[in-house]
Amino acid sequence: MNWEIAIVLLTLLAMLASFVYERIPTELTALVGLSFLLLTGILGTPDALAAFSNAAPITVGAMFIVSAALEKSGAIQSVAQRLQAYPNARVSIVLPLLILAVASVSAFINNTPVVVIFLPVVLSIAKQLRIPPSKLLIPLSFASIFGGNCTLVGTSTNIVISSVAESQGLAPFSLFELAWVGLPLLAAGTLYLCTVGYRMLPHRETVSSILSEDQRREYIIEAFLGEDSPLHNKSLASIPHFHSSGLRPLEIIRHGVALRDDPNQVPLQLGDRVLIAASPRALAQAPKGDALAAFIEQCGMEQIASVEGGFVEVALRSETNLAGHTPASLNFRQRYRLAPVAIHRNGRNLSENVAQMPLKGGDILLLLGSREAIAKLRQEPDFVVIDETPIEPPAPSRYRNLTLLAIAGMIAASAAGLIPIAGAAIIASTFLILAGCLTPQDAYRAIQWPILFLIFAMLGVGKALETSGATALLANTLVHATQSFVAEPWRPLALLAAIYLVTTILTEILSNNAAAVLMATLAIGSAQTLGVDPKPFLVAVAIAASASFATPIGYQTNTYVYGIGGYRFTDFLKIGIPLNLVAFLVAVLVIPLLWSF
| Residues whose CB falls within 8 Å of the CB of residue 481, separated by 6 or more in sequence, listed in order | 498
Cα–Cα nearest to 383, from 444, 451, 322, 448: 322
Given 3-state DSSP classes, what are the helix, strand and coil percentages for the chain, each rounded to the nearest 5? Answer: 60, 10, 30
- Which residues are paired to 275 by β-bridges? 222, 251
Give the tens place of pLDDT for each residue, 84-114.
666 667 888 889 999 999 999 999 888 888 8
Give the tens place of pLDDT for each residue, 352-385.
778 788 888 778 888 877 777 777 887 787 887 8
How much is the pLDDT for 70? 85
> 74 pLDDT band (50/70/90 cuts)?
confident
User: Cα dist. 511→30, 161, 504, 518, 592 in Å?
Assistant: 11, 14, 11, 11, 27
Give the tens place of pLDDT for each residue, 574-596.
999 999 999 999 999 999 999 98
- CA angle, residues 320, 355, 374, in degrees to nearest 5: 60
| Residues whose CB falls within 8 Å of the CB of residue 574, separated by 6 or more in sequence, listed in order | 200
How much is the pLDDT for 87? 60
Model confidence at 15: pLDDT above 80: yes
Model confidence at 119: pLDDT above 90: no
How much is the pLDDT for 279? 62
Q: How far is it, in rounded angstroms, from Cα 494 to Cα 499?
A: 9
How much is the pLDDT for 216? 53
Give the tens place of pLDDT for each residue, 133-178.
889 999 999 999 999 999 998 888 999 999 889 888 899 999 999 9
How much is the pLDDT for 390? 47
CATH code, residues 209-385: 3.30.70.1450
Burial code of 104-134, b = ≥16 C-beta within 10 A, e = fewer? bbbbbbbbbbbbbbbbbbbbbbbeebeebbb
> 247 pLDDT band (50/70/90 cuts)?
confident
Q: How far is it, in rounded angstroms, from Cα 258 to Cα 332?
A: 8
Whole-number mean pLDDT of the chain? 83
Model confidence at 420: pLDDT above 80: yes
Residue 500 and residue 38 in contact, taking contact as beta carbons nearer than 8 Å: no
- The mean pLDDT value for 32-39 works out to 93
How much is the pLDDT for 428? 93
> 122 pLDDT band (50/70/90 cuts)?
confident
**Other C-beta atoms lying within 10 Å of the C-beta of residue 24:** 12
DSSP letter assigned to residue 217: E
Strand duo 257-258 + 217-224: pairing: unpaired
How much is the pLDDT for 348? 66
Model confidence at 307: pLDDT above 70: no
Query: Where do the domains of the chain lie?
Result: 3-206+405-594, 209-385
Q: Which one has a higher pLDDT value, 359 or 509?
A: 359
- CA angle, residues 123, 126, 130, in degrees to nearest 5: 140
Q: Which one has a higher pLDDT value, 167 or 293?
A: 167
Give the tens place of pLDDT for each residue, 184-231.
999 999 999 999 999 999 887 665 554 544 455 566 778 888 887 888
Least confident of 242-251, 391-400, 430-439: 391-400
Residue 19 and residue 508 in contact, taking contact as beta carbons nearer than 8 Å: no
pTM (2 decimals)?
0.77
- The mean pLDDT value for 419-430 works out to 92
How much is the pLDDT for 290? 52
